[in-house]
């Protein structure tokens, strides 16, 4: 279990306990967090689960795998700290992670 905090563009904070093994995207979708669409369902094929991760956490997360940056090219307003939340797998190590949701996904 890890506590993940989703911060919406309107600065509302939703802190949720997400089971290990799920992705940060699934934690959001299962708990109806607004702003994460995840159209493709976690296939790294749509870039609509795009989030920003603050620098300290960004560097702690496992690195992006092949293809994630390609997909982020398509995201709405990508930044250097952009990630696809479907590619961040929840574990005890990321307890306390905070992600910021962009103003929109497309």
Partner 1 sequence: MNKTDALIIGAGPTGLFTAHQLKLIGLDCEIVDNLDKIGGQCIELYPDKPIYDIPAVPECTGEELTNNLISQLKPFDIKFHLSERVEKVKKEDTNWLVKTSSGNTFLTPNVIIAGGVGSFEPRKFAPKECEKYENKSLFYSVKDKKIFKGKTVSIFGGGDSALDWAIELSKDCKINLIHRRDEFRGAQATVDKMQELVKSGKINLFTKYQMANAQGDQKLESIDIKHDNNEIKNLKSDYVLGFFGLIMQLGPIANWGLNLNKKTIEVDTEKFETNQKGIYAVGDICNYPGKLKLILSGFHEGALAARACFKLARPNEKYRFEFTTTSSNLLKRLGKKE
Q: Which residues bind partner 1 (CB under 8 A)?
A: 37, 39-41, 43, 45-46, 48, 69-70, 73-74, 76-80, 106
Cα of 96 vs its chain's centroid, Å: 13
Size (the chain), residues: 106
Residue closer to partner 1, measured from CB, 11 or 80: 80
Residue closer to partner 1, measured from CB, 2 or 29: 29
Residue closer to partner 1, measured from CB, 14 or 78: 78
Cα separation, 21 vs 53, in Å, equals: 19
What minimum distance in Å lies between the beta carbon of 75 and partner 1?
8
CB 94 within 8 A of CB 1: no
What is the Cβ-side half-sphere exposure of residue 3, based on CA atoms within 13 angstroms?
Answer: 5
What minimum distance in Å lies between the beta carbon of 80 and partner 1?
5
CB 52 within 8 A of CB 102: yes
What minimum distance in Å lies between the beta carbon of 82 and partner 1?
9
């Amino acid at each position: 279990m890890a506590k993940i905090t989703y911060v919406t563009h309107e600065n509302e904070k939703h802190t949720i306990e997400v089971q290990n093994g799920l992705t940060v995207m699934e934690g959001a979708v299962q708990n109806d967090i607004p702003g994460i669409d995840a159209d493709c369902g976690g296939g790294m094929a749509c870039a609509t689960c795009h989030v920003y991760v603050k620098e300290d956490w960004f560097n702690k997360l496992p690195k992006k795998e092949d293809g994630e940056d390609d997909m982020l090219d398509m995201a709405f307003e990508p930044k250097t700290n952009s990630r696809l939340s479907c590619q961040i797998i929840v574990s005890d190590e990321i307890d306390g992670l905070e992600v910021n949701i962009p103003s929109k996904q497309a």
